[in-house]
Structure 1
């Protein structure tokens, strides 16, 4: 949720900037190819959404060659592990609340399975979604006003269909201090988890999935329409 749009320094303390995952993995699978022999392509995309994809008020993080959104399987239990290093006090309740909000709104099911010392925020492959906290020294794309990153890794089959198989969310440990004091960390986490599901940024300023957030904390009709489209694609 996080390009730096607009100019000047007007009300900068009130502007929450969160970035969609800037490094996503595409793992191409051919018939009979096991996951240990994959060919991996990494791309960089600061727009957090494919221009022109989606519908009114929403975009998708990635689409297939058939213009279908890339998301998780129908009725998938999306496992989540939390690395608590650098996390704020009460992080477990924060994660539980954010996951509950996303599950209720989306129809997908994130399941927190426990904690981990894993800190592989970039280059993730198949496995649990990792939630953690870091600074810009560890994750350079957290530099500046970016408050969080989130997205999924996915596999593409020989027919062109794709499914998410892993992902990550990393929140900036400096988000609660300095000039970014007072941001709603749960809203940031909700936003990034929705990126993990496959929804990109919205151009509607009041959408929770807008690239810049200056106070919105609830899903709009556009956000919900995008989540519904992901669910339809997952279960088609």
Structure 2
């Protein structure tokens, strides 16, 4: 995400992005399931979200063959493990505040279940969502003006239906001007947690889910409509 400062001038931080990390664990359930049936793709080098999916002001990170969004089960409690290595001071309060904000506006619940030393930020499958802090040396996808990555792993059944089953959020510690380049850290974390739920980037710069942040720190109408669409898809 980027931050625009006063006087109509855009600082060097204006190109900071918060990308969606598309982690798909596509499992076609069949009697002869083997390693050839499991595929993972990580593609943070493109704008997160399937073009043309979603509605006004929002897109979906991934869609099923029928065009519906890939998200979690209805009313899911999504377990979240935190790796505190390289985390900023007060990270526990930061995580709690961001989780509470997302839980309030979505039909899902993130539950912090504890801390971990796990740092496998790529290739994740089923299990708790991993939240941690890293730099481009450890996570090459954080190279350049990228403030964070987030997304879910999911399983596709033989009928084409899909459900998220795990995921990751990793925030960049190596931005100019300090942690996350002086951006509002809670805003960045909320953005990434919403990627985990299944929303992609919005083309509307007034939405919190826009790829580049120009100062917005509240969820917009498109963001809220997208979260409602995820809830409807999960529980419909």
TM-score, structure 2 as length reference: 0.90
**1:190 and 2:190 aligned:** yes
User: Partner of 1:5 in structure 2?
Assistant: none
User: Partner of 2:5 in structure 1?
Assistant: none
User: Partner of 2:161 in structure 1?
Assistant: 161
Quote the Cα distance in structure 1 between the aligned partners of 2:130 and 2:179.
27
Superposed CA deviations along residues 42-92 of structure 1, whole A, max 9, x for unmatched, are 252511000000001100000000001000000111000000000000000
Quote the Cα distance in structure 1 between the aligned partners of 2:34 and 2:194.
26
Which runs of 4 or more aligned residues in structure 1 lie more than 4 Å from their structure 2 counterparts after TM superposition? 32-38
Q: Is the 8 A contact 1:176 1:183 kept in 2?
A: no
CA RMSD of aligned residues (A): 2.1
User: Partner of 1:212 in structure 2?
Assistant: 212
Q: Is the 8 A contact 1:19 1:148 kept in 2?
A: yes
Long gaps (5+) in structure 2: 3-8
Deviation larger for 180-189 or 162-171: 180-189
Counterparts of residues 34-183 of structure 1 (less than 5 Å): 39-44=38-43, 46-175=46-175, 177=177, 181-183=181-183
Q: Is the 8 A contact 2:40 2:123 kept in 1?
A: no
Quote the Cα distance in structure 2 between the aligned partners of 1:130 and 1:183.
22
Quote the Cα distance in structure 2 between the aligned partners of 1:145 and 1:13.
8
Quote the Cα distance in structure 1 between the aligned partners of 2:180 and 2:77.
34
CA apart distance, 1:20: 1.1
Q: Is the 8 A contact 2:61 2:199 kept in 1?
A: yes
Matched residue SS, 1:230: helix
Distance 1:97 1:34, change over 3 A: farther
Matched residue SS, 2:175: coil
Quote the Cα distance in structure 1 between the aligned partners of 2:34 and 2:198.
22
Matched residue SS, 1:44: coil
Quote the Cα distance in structure 2 between the aligned partners of 1:41 and 1:61.
15
User: Partner of 1:29 in structure 2?
Assistant: 28
Q: Is the 8 A contact 2:53 2:59 kept in 1?
A: yes
Distance 1:63 1:169, change over 3 A: same
Quote the Cα distance in structure 1 between the aligned partners of 2:109 and 2:209.
19
CA apart distance, 1:38: 5.1
CA apart distance, 1:36: 8.2
Q: Is the 8 A contact 1:16 1:214 kept in 2?
A: no
Deviation larger for 124-133 or 175-184: 175-184
Distance 1:179 1:191, change over 3 A: closer
User: Partner of 2:17 in structure 1?
Assistant: 17
Quote the Cα distance in structure 2 between the aligned partners of 1:37 and 1:182.
44
